[in-house]
Amino acid sequence: MSPRVDNQGSGGNGTRMTDDVLARPANRRGRPPGTSARELEVAALRLFSEQGFHETTVDQIATAAGVSRRTFFRYYDAKADVLWNEFDTEVETIRTLLAEMPADLPVLEAVRRAVLAANHYRAEDVPELRRRMTLLSTVPDLAASAAVHYDAWERAVSAFVARRSGQPEESLYPLVVGRAVLAACRAAYDRWSARADADLTVYLDAALRALAAGLADDVLRVEPDPVPG
């Protein structure tokens, strides 16, 4: 049995329509979609921010996007899945960046570069990013829904480490590196979404460098420069 979460679990087929690439061949066959995963996400983010997650029903999200409750669940398997689009695409970005890293780079250095490169956001996207990440780490039900998405993130790093170290992906060290790296990044995310005093990449860089330094006592004494970003 795999040590990872079994995604075949509760009936969901996993095939979601997160292909908001708006690149439909124009001569698509059947009835055109009445909404999109992105539109549902925006509506949900607004409602969650205004009224809270638990106080918002799926009916309200669907109505705000102009569709029925039933249709919401055609776009997302669960109410709590609606805010994870961008995170999931970031996982794919990191996976791609890692595959392109020069082979002579130390593992953690390659991971650090890939993570930093995947986390540059346009200034106009930052407010939404911050609201979404604050909700994801603050609301218990949303924090719980993170598990499966984090799992994919860790797998991307574990697979890279496994290739580099010539070990199977399920062995101990690839698992440790994947999870420890995500742990450091999550700490940076939370620190950043709680305060607005520096660029996200500053915290990510500091956290990953601390990890590569073995979390030694001497490197833990100084906070990273709060250079406003």
Partner DNA sequence: ATGATTTTCGGCACTGAGTGTCGAATAGGG
Partner DNA sequence: CCCTATTCGACACTCAGTGCCGAAAATCAT
Which of 14, 30, 168, 214 is the binder for DNA (CB under 7 A)? 30
- Decide which of DNA, a copy of itself, none touches 84; Cβ closer than 5 to 8 Å per partner kind: none
Based on the shown chain and the rule CB under 8 A, indicate whether residue 15 belongs to the binding site for a copy of itself: no
Q: In whole angstroms, give the CA distance from residue 1 to residue 187.
A: 30
CB of 136 to a copy of itself, least distance (A): 10
Q: Do 119 and 201 meet the contact criterion of CB atoms below 8 Å apart?
A: yes
- The residue with tokens 């984090």 is 150
Based on the shown chain and the rule CB under 7 A, indicate whether residue 80 belongs to the binding site for DNA: yes
Residue 34 vs 143, nearer CB to a copy of itself: 143
- Decide which of a copy of itself, DNA, none touches 59; Cβ closer than 5 to 8 Å per partner kind: DNA
- Decide which of DNA, a copy of itself, none touches 220; Cβ closer than 5 to 8 Å per partner kind: a copy of itself
Which of 37, 67, 118, 200 is the binder for DNA (CB under 7 A)? 67
The region of 30-38, 114-122, 161-169, 207-215 touching DNA under the rule CB under 7 A is 30-38
What string of H, E and C letters represents the secondary structure of the chain? Answer: CCCCCCCCCCCCCCCCCCCCCCCCCCCCCCCCCCCCHHHHHHHHHHHHHHHCCCCCCHHHHHHHCCCCHHHHHHHCCCHHHHHCHHHHHHHHHHHHHHHCCCCCCCHHHHHHHHHHHHCCCCHHHHHHHHHHHHHHHHCHHHHHHHHHHHHHHHHHHHHHHHHHHCCCCCCHHHHHHHHHHHHHHHHHHHHHHHCCCCCHHHHHHHHHHHHHCCCCHHHHCCCCCCCCC
State the number of binding residues for DNA (CB under 7 A).
30
- Decide which of a copy of itself, DNA, none touches 203; Cβ closer than 5 to 8 Å per partner kind: a copy of itself
Residue 51 vs 89, nearer CB to DNA: 51
Based on the shown chain and the rule CB under 7 A, indicate whether residue 32 belongs to the binding site for DNA: yes
Based on the shown chain and the rule CB under 7 A, indicate whether residue 15 belongs to the binding site for DNA: no
- Decide which of a copy of itself, DNA, none touches 33; Cβ closer than 5 to 8 Å per partner kind: DNA
CA distances to 57, 85, 89 from 19, rounded to whole Å, are 25, 10, 11
Residues in touch with a copy of itself (CB under 8 A): 1-7, 9-11, 54, 106-108, 134, 137-141, 143-148, 151, 161, 164-167, 170-180, 182-184, 186-188, 190-191, 193-194, 203, 206-207, 210-217, 220-221, 223-224
